[in-house]
């Protein structure tokens, strides 16, 4: 991810955030943040001249103090508005995508006649047709046909995807576009309940809904601030007693002390941390149904994954040619390619690709070689082509073993034992054997297998390094499961698993105290997705799966959990780091303001016995107070990039990570104010 900078943001977002920061001065909004509300009330009180009575401070000091107190509030508002602005930009883009789309409504799946209706008039269980170039008007399930679909409006990925009826890749989303073929879609969601509508609602809700951890931290910070409020209110009593009632502490100084001692930094940035966490997930094309799910992701230590479509590509692809005795592999590949030229299924295209990659066989045109395509059909379970070679009619077919075997026998041929043995071996491994025949001669077979997604083994290794154990769950036999598990690099697997087995494993891990994440895409994954602490449904999956999970991965990438976990940990770390930094800041500001308030007390011949408390050797009491207030305001702005981007996560033990962050944000949080306040004091001394 590129380095975050406030200045790298869209100018529209920045200008809108500035305006929103001012609008957030509404007391009804300010009271939602108890800590900043104290600053808000203090700024109002210092803005009333009557409260300055008895103060000998200069007018310049009074104006600057009032100004910087208001700026403190505005800076906190700006941080929240900036995060909200990024969210609004995303929802505006989604609303554009959701625009009005016309639909070709039909009464039945086989109906050839359709009526053009507004997509907003479609209701659940209605049927409509989509053809090449049509926008999909409503969320639904494909009940007939297959098509390539452009989902870039949702996922941001330009590469089209295959959607087809009768499987776990049948769900389509409103706002996407059909690029080829014809499909019939049954509507699954009424207007207002579509995936896009729910995305917009959830994203906007993230701005308002506080997570349980955030609520708990807000309560702690509020109690912390009340303690400081009581302590500051008691200071005039002790000061007056020590001074013999001859002097008192000016109210503005007390307010300045309170503002600097309460944890304003974390209080001002807390909402921004939460919202930016949701934005980071959206930047990775992950939609979280709640902030609670994002926080829980930071504690995940067990990941359960469905195999098909999750670890593997889902569509079986050609991986190897096995020629029959007396047949060269090159010849088998050439004829297999010829038999697959008219086969537009993923399996058929994979055979063409394998032949090209392995033997550099150029893809031929059927018209070029004067061949007639024989398309695949469910009744024949084979495809191929007919052509003329050397004046003779030649037919080549590829398909299921029993279909090809029957055809060859009918033509007077026989099946070599070696081919039968190879077919059985492929089947035992969980693969799909396709047999190729030319006329009545068997040329060999093709091994179709589930292809493990590229780079997934390395990603699972990264998950292992941060303490997450991976478990693959599949309905395949133990031999196939073991083979895929070894290739993918998962830690464990469950073979021949039914939905009940997935649930049982999740409950077993949860009973041991583990936080479990489940990734799946099929209807049979829905119970497990609902049971898991984090249920990540693939966008390519069924509607039932997407509704069962509390996160949706728009890229349908199972290794996306690594980013999800990292973002969850970053939110927790960022919140903790900023809290540590904010409280550590108070130590330095204590040494800035208290000496300024008490420094002149007990002065004898102009020398105060409390003067050693002024360890920073600040120029004057006014300068000390003002320097602390200015630093307190500026540090909020300085910490916005950290709040928006998050504290960097490194794959290391939790103890080492904690020690590192305590050193940076704890010790650093104590040192930074001493330096900052001193530099501001030196500048102020030139003008005061």
* DSSP H helix total and E strand total for the chain: 23, 22
Residue 362: alpha-carbon gap to chain centroid: 41
CB neighbourhood size of 188 (10 A): 21
Which residues partner with 384 through β-bridges? 374, 397
Could you give the CA distance from residue 551 to residue 539 in angstroms, rounded to a whole number?
10
CB 109, CB 125: distance < 8 Å? no
Sequence-distant (6+) residues with CB within 8 A of 62 are 46, 52, 55, 252
Strands 127-131 and 372-374: unpaired
Whether residue 517 contacts residue 530, with contact meaning beta carbons closer than 8 Å, is answered with no
Mark out the alpha helices in 320-363 (DSSP H runs). 329-340, 346-359
Sorted by sequence, the CB contacts under 8 Å of residue 300 that are 6+ apart come out as 468, 515, 516, 517, 533, 534, 561, 565, 568
Q: How far apart are the first and last CA of the chain?
A: 45
CA dihedral 240, 244, 245, 250 (to 10 degrees): -40
Closest CA to 98 of 158, 139, 143: 139
Which SS3 state, helix, strand or coil, does residue 596 take?
A: helix
Could you please report the per-residue DSSP string of 236-285? HHHHHHHTTTS----HHHHHHHHHHHS-HHHHHHHHHHHHHHHHHHHHTT
> How far, in whole angstroms, is CA 351 from its chain's centroid?
35
The H or E element that residue 435 is part of is strand 432-438
The CA distance from 442 to 413, in Å, is: 8
In the block, residue with structure tokens 């009973």: 511
- 505, two tokens: 């494993």
Alpha-carbon gap, residue 148 to 183, rounded angstroms = 10
For 443-493, give the DSSP string. Answer: EEEEEEEPPBPTTHHHHHHHHHHTT-EEEEE-SS-HHHHHHHHHHHT-SEE
Element (H, E) at 592: helix 561-598
Tokens of 207: 């701005």
Does 306 qualify as catalytic in the annotation? yes
Q: Which residues contact 66 (CB under 8 A, 6 or more apart)?
A: 43, 46, 47
The CA distances from residue 57 to 54, 89, 167, 235, 561, in Å, are: 9, 46, 77, 19, 58
Give a three-class secondary structure readout of 77-95.
HHHHHHHHHHHHHHHHHHH
Sheet (strand 516-520) strand order: 286-288, 551-553, 534-538, 516-520, 302-306, 469-473, 492-494
CB 600 within 8 A of CB 613: no
What is the CB neighbour count within 10 angstroms for residue 294?
28
User: Residue 216 contacts by C-beta under 8 Å, 6 or more apart in sequence?
Assistant: none
Catalytic residue among 168, 306, 533, 681: 306
The catalytic site residues sit at 306
């Amino acid at each position: 991810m590129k380095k975050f900078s406030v200045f790298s943001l869209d100018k529209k977002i920045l200008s809108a955030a500035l305006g929103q920061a001012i609008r957030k001065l509404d007391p009804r909004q300010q009271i939602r943040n108890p800590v900043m509300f104290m600053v808000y009330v203090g700024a109002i009180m210092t803005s009333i001249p009557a409260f300055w009575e008895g103060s000998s401070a200069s007018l310049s000091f009074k104006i600057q103090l009032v100004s910087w107190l208001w700026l403190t509030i505005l800076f906190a508002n700006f941080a929240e508005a900036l995060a909200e602005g990024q969210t609004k930009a995303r929802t505006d883009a989604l609303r554009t995508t959701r625009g009005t789309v016309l639909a070709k409504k039909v009464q039945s799946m086989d109906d050839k006649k359709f009526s053009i209706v507004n997509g907003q008039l479609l209701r659940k269980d209605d049927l409509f047709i989509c053809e090449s170039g049509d926008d999909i008007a409503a969320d639904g399930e494909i009940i007939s046909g297959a098509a390539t679909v452009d989902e870039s409006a949702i996922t941001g990925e330009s590469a089209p995807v295959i959607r087809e009826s009768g499987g776990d890749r049948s769900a389509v989303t409103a706002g996407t576009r059909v690029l080829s073929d014809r499909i019939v879609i049954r509507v699954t969601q009424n207007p207002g309940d579509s995936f896009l509508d729910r995305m917009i609602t959830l994203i906007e809700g993230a701005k308002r809904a506080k997570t349980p951890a955030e609520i708990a931290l807000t309560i702690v910070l509020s109690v912390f601030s009340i303690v400081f409020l009581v302590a500051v209110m008691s200071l005039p009593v002790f000061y007056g007693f020590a001074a013999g009632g001859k002097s008192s502490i000016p109210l503005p100084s007390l307010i300045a002390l309170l503002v600097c001692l309460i944890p304003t930094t974390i209080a001002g940035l807390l909402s921004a941390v939460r919202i930016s966490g949701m934005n980071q997930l959206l930047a990775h094309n992950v939609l979280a149904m709640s902030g609670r799910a994002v926080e829980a992701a930071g504690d995940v230590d067990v990941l359960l994954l469905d195999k098909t479509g999750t670890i593997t590509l889902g569509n079986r692809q050609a991986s190897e040619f096995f020629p029959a005795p007396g047949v060269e592999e090159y010849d088998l590949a050439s004829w297999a390619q010829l038999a697959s030229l008219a086969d537009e299924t993923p399996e058929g295209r994979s055979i063409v690709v394998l032949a090209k990659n392995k033997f550099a066989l150029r893809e031929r045109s059927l018209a070029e070689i004067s061949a007639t395509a024989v398309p695949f059909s469910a009744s024949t379970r084979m495809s191929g082509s007919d052509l003329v070679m050397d004046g003779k009619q030649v037919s080549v077919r590829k398909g299921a073993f029993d279909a090809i075997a029957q055809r060859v026998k009918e033509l007077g041929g026989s099946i070599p034992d070696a081919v039968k043995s190879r077919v059985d071996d492929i089947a035992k491994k969980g693969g799909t054997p396709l047999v190729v025949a030319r006329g009545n001669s068997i040329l060999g077979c093709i091994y179709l297998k589930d292809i493990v997604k590229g780079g997934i083994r390395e990603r699972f290794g990264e998950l292992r390094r941060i303490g997450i154990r991976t478990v693959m769950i599949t309905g395949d036999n133990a031999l196939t499961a073991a083979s895929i598990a070894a290739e993918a690099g998962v830690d464990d697997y469950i073979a021949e698993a039914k939905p009940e087995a997935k649930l049982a494993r999740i409950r077993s891990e949860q009973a041991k105290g583990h936080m479990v994440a489940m990734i799946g895409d099929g209807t049979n994954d829905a119970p497990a997705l609902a049971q898991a602490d984090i249920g990540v449904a693939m966008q390519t999956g069924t509607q039932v799966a997407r509704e069962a999970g509390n996160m949706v991965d728009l890229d349908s990438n199972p290794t996306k959990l690594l980013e999800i976990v990292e973002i969850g940990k970053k939110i927790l770390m960022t919140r903790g780091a900023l809290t540590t930094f904010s409280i550590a800041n108070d130590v330095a500001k204590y040494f800035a303001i208290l000496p300024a308030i008490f420094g002149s007390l007990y002065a004898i011949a102009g020398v105060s016995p409390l003067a050693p408390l002024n360890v920073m050797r600040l120029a004057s009491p006014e300068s000390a107070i003002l320097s602390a207030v200015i630093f307190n305001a500026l540090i909020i702005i300085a910490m916005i990039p950290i709040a928006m981007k998050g504290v960097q996560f490194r794959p290391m033990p939790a103890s080492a990570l904690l020690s590192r962050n305590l050193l940076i944000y704890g010790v650093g949080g104590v040192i930074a104010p001493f330096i900052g306040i001193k530099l501001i004091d030196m500048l102020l001394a030139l003008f005061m």
